Structures are given as structure tokens and as C-alpha cells.
Amino acid sequence: MSERSVHLPAESRGEAPGRGRLAGRRVLVVGGGQMDIGEADTPIGNGRAMSVLFAREGAGVAVADRDLASAEASVALATREGGRTFAISADASKEDDVTRMVDEAERALGAIDGLVLNVGIGAGGPWLSGTTAEMWDRVFAVNIRSHMLAVRAALPKMPEGSSIVFVSSVAGIKPGSRLPAYDASKAAIAGLCRHVALEGERRAIRANVIAPGLMDTSIGRLASRGRPGREKTPVPLGRQGTGWETAYAALFLLSEESAYITGQVIAVDGGLSALR
């Protein structure tokens, strides 16, 4: 992608001060660590940026990840923001782990009134010809079954007025990854979200989806290694997004600022899905 010279606001750089937008919220971030891809300068990923930003904005945050050291690294950054932050080791694709994760988060925070589901993998060869049944099942186990398990465990415990945010991908809106299991599983998140919003409506529990586009994160850079042409995608705003920009969308959906929004998919993609 040919990136234009653009000014990134403080929010996009993760440098804006907190404004107390989540004061009193108790948020569980599932997938709040960050993948190590062997680069010293990898920019912050979606999960870590959300964990830090939520703490900066006044929330208590439980950071869950299957890599405990990665979750603890996110907690170390979030703790500097002054919030109550805890790390939890859990594999979101395992039912027993998910049940324990939700129980631990509830005990640590006192309650869970914000839930962010940021777990996902892209795997298998390109196109249908490169997709095995085993890899298809693995991707769905992580990308959609894990979300169902987490919401099933957490929803009955969440108080009135809570908010749930699913992190999907622009690949769930339009094709492009060339990985059928990834595209299909990300599209399925919207269907699950609408059902969760329906179940939650009587208690004013909202559920929404964020669909990031091409993001300059560790996972994004790993994807570009496998498909160098990804870097040339013509994003209307002329650049890849940052993990902080995903985090601010999640912040809005967790806050009372979005109290009348539920069952929606919000693309954070620089106009890619709408204009290209």
C-alpha cells in the first residue's frame, strides 16, 4: 500500500489522555495479550491497546490470554495508567478454561459489565483447495466457538446495562483474505452478536461487532509476510490502521455514549469496505 503523508491524531498514536469514559466499568478482555513475531519494533496490537486504554479511561480490567506472560505484559502497561488490572491464563477454545476465566474475572473485579472478545486465528492454505476439514474446524473453534463459550458463561452474570464487544474483521464483510475458514468464521460473528443482543435486550445488555480492516499490528505484519500484496491494498484513507483505533471503537461501544446502539457491525477500516 502506498501510504500518503498523513497526520495521526493523538488517539491514533495512543497518546491522548484519559477522560474517565469508563469510570466504574469492570471489563474482561479475552485475547488481551499480543503475539510475538520476532520484531523489536512491532506496534501495539488490538488486544493490548484495548487493555491499556480501558484502564486509562478508568475501568478495572481483567486481561485474559492463553499466553500468561503476554497477558502480564499488557497488565504491566495498563497498571501504569492507574487502573485495577489483572492477568488470567486461559485458552478460549477450551470450555473448562472459559468457565474458570469468567469466574476468576468476576472475583477479581467484583462483577463483569464489559466483555470484549478479541480471539481469532487465520490458518490453512489459500482458497478452498488449500483448506482441510481439520483446519476449518480449528479456525471455527477459535474464531466463533470460543466467543459463544465466553458469552454463554458471562451473560447470565452480567448486570443490567452491560456491554459486549466482538472483534471480527473486514474479511467478514467482504472477501479478501483468501482464507475461506477465516472469512466465513469472521462473518459468523455478526450472526452470533445479533443473537446475543436479542438475549440481552430485556436487561439492556448491548452487543456489537467491530470489524477492523488492514491494521499495522503484529498479526497484520504476520499476514503481510504470507501475502506481501496485502501492503498494496488501496485503503481510501491511504494507510493501515493502528491498534489504538480499534481500541477507541471498543471504548465507545463499552461506554454509555453508545447506550442506544446494539446488534451492529462497525467497520474500522479507513473506508475499505464501503468505498472499495
Nearest in space to 52 (alpha carbons), one of 75, 86, 30, 19: 75
Give the cell for residue 9.
491524531
CA distance 191 to 197: 10
Q: Is 12 exposed, middle or buried (0-12, 13-18, 19+ CB in 10 A)?
A: middle
**Residue extents of the structural domains in the chain:** 23-275
Give the fold, CATH level 3, of 23-275: Rossmann fold (3.40.50)
Residue 92: its H or E element: none
Phi/psi zone of residue 164: left (φ > 0), alpha (ψ -120 to 50 degrees), beta?
Answer: beta
Residue 223: the pLDDT is 64
Residue 34: all three cell numbers together: 499480543
pLDDT of 5? 60
pLDDT of residue 231: 75
Question: Which active-site residues does the annotation give?
Answer: 182
Note the pLDDT of residue 225. Answer: 66
Q: What is the pLDDT along the chain (276 residues), one digit of tens a residue?
A: 444 567 799 999 999 999 999 999 999 999 999 987 677 788 899 999 999 999 999 999 999 999 999 999 999 999 999 879 999 999 999 999 999 999 999 999 999 999 999 999 987 778 999 999 999 999 999 999 999 999 999 999 999 999 999 999 999 999 878 899 999 999 999 999 999 999 999 999 999 999 999 998 877 676 666 677 777 788 999 999 999 999 999 999 999 999 999 999 999 999 999 998
Pairing of strands 114-117, 206-212: unpaired
The side-by-side arrangement of strands in the sheet containing 114-117 is 85-89, 60-65, 26-30, 114-117, 163-167, 206-212, 265-268
Q: What is the pLDDT of residue 2?
A: 46
